[in-house]
Structure 1
């Protein structure tokens, strides 16, 4: 059976990116376990997505079948990104920590995924995520912001927002103290990749 992988990189570094190195290694591990895998790749820094605005909000607030041609065009990218997530068995996301939080490029991707009634809905019992059965593996990379520490606002946000969409199987691989001890930081990440269930 084909295993579908969505590979998302977000680092602004064209070379020498730890998060890109980690996502590449994670995808390689998944493909080794699933030789028939298909991979959809997006580099959100090299090919930035447009930020959401009032026109986008108006377009996605209308049911798809009721949108005007202009609204359909405006919502098309958001719909395509959602389809990529829905079609993925596993999403591999590079998370370089910038100023204690997620890169703006990654936040824009998340904003474009947030369509009420499509990726989430509100019920009497609270919000319900509408993307089911998808696994996420996040490559967390930081020079010194330890994952899970009081100054780490990135990993908790990613776990929360993915869960909000219904993606609750979320795993992290972390190289989170590279500027302090590069060797042990890389080793910790490699050990984390080796321990992933493929």
Structure 2
């Protein structure tokens, strides 16, 4: 059974462009895969906490030697990683915050990037363990940061997420950038017209 993991990181909920695009992706994907499964992970409704020294100690303790406290510390990380392992494909909504990803998305990455779980070292070189997966990132930003635009050098989202994905073994990554969302704050802005080209771009990526 094909499985899609949907991850949302915007705090704007119903006003979020990235959430609207992930919803569009999911609905189109479900239409093509009516008997498939969708796992939804809302990072703004998940109690994410920063990685601590105790977390690192638990993660690097061999599984057979972990105490009940270690297992409790790693419980959320285990759950988030299990979602990634169960899915064949990911769609991830990411708004730009200060030229990079939201803090919730960074906490999620910190919890899923675990040695022996999502990556390992073979002969001293890192090897990603989330292989044969596809990730589509739907990025919303107030300005346009596409290649060739005046602000392109300030877009740290795409290079960072490409690097992290590849490190974890996900080499098939697609980015759809919905730039210019600041225009939606003006009086009389046509949200549907603004979204239309990005919705069409999403439709071309759903298979």
Q: TM over 0.5: same fold?
A: yes
Match of 1:190 among 184, 191, 199: 199
Q: Cα distance, 1:145 vs. partner? A: 4.1
In the TM superposition, 1:93-108 aligns within 5 A as 93-108=92-107
Structure 2: 5+ residue stretches without partners? none
Larger radius of gyration: 2
Per-residue CA deviations over 1:16-49 (Å, capped at 9, x if unaligned) read: 1000000000111111111112111111113331
Larger helix proportion of the pair = 2
**2:138 corresponds to which residue?**
139
How far apart, in 2, do the equivalents of 1:163 and 1:17 lie? 27
TM-score by length of 2: 0.89
Aligned-residue RMSD, C-alpha: 1.8
CA contact (8 A) 2:130 2:169 kept: yes
TM-score by length of 1: 0.92
Structure 1: 5+ residue stretches without partners? none
Larger displacement relative to structure 2 (184-193 or 158-167): 184-193
Per-residue CA deviations over 1:102-156 (Å, capped at 9, x if unaligned) read: 0000000000011112211223463210111111111110110414421100111
CA contact (8 A) 1:100 1:153 kept: yes
In the TM superposition, 1:1-198 aligns within 5 A as 2-124=1-123, 126-148=125-147, 149-180=152-183, 185-198=194-207
Q: Cα distance, 1:196 vs. partner? A: 1.0
Per-residue CA deviations over 1:68-100 (Å, capped at 9, x if unaligned) read: 111111112111111110110111111100110
Cα gap change, 1:66/1:163 in structure 2, threshold over 3 Å: closer, same or farther? same
